[in-house]
Amino acid sequence: MARDRGLDLVEVAPNAMPPVCRLMDYGKFRYEQSRKERESRRNQHVVELKEVRVRPKIDDHDLETKGRQAARFLDGGDKVKLTVLFRGREMAHPDIGKSLLDQLAEQLREHGTVEQPPRMEGRAMIMFMAPLKAKGAASDQDRTKEGNRGREQSAAQEDENP
């Protein structure tokens, strides 16, 4: 039957009783599978871990700048590792580092959530933040819509002005 129709006989479930076969164009099937795979890879976003380092003696404005940098990472869909590095006598005051990380967490509340609270690791105090799910997906869709809208408007203008 397969030869008469110009198709391939493909064994779908060899372990079933009786074995299940299907008549299909195997080349077309493989091509469609590779296209679906390529499309799913294109829509994928790999979450990276970005790090923002600060020192205990950081000034308020510098801390705000570091916070904006972390917010940009979180809005981009990446996780952020906030690190306070201690040297020498600064090690005696971990409360300063904890307050800095709490201040950053408060500043970044609308961009992400605290995944892991502050904890000491050697000479550094670290805290992890994860991006908000809905915000990252919405911002990607908004950018796509804005890009499409811009193209539509320019196309409309070209139609009006020949």
DSSP states of 16-76 as a string?
SSSPEEEEE-HHHHHHHHHHHHHHHHHT--PPPEEEEEE-TT--HHHHHHHHHHHHHHHHT
d(CA 87, CA 26): 65
For 2-42, CATH gives 3.10.20.80
- φ, ψ for residue 90 (rounded to 5)? -65, -25
Residues 47-64, mean pLDDT to the nearest whole number: 91
Note the pLDDT of residue 40: 85
Residues 28-57, mean pLDDT to the nearest whole number: 88
Residues 27-49, mean pLDDT to the nearest whole number: 87
Contact (Cβ atoms closer than 8 angstroms) between residue 80 and residue 136: no
Average pLDDT, the chain: 83
Note the pLDDT of residue 150: 52
CATH topology of domain 49-133: Translation Initiation Factor IF3 (3.30.110)
DSSP, collapsed to helix, strand or coil, labels residue 152 as: helix
Q: Could you tell me which residue, 89 or 139, shows the higher pLDDT?
A: 89
Give per-residue pLDDT as tens, 104-133.
999 999 999 998 999 999 999 999 999 987
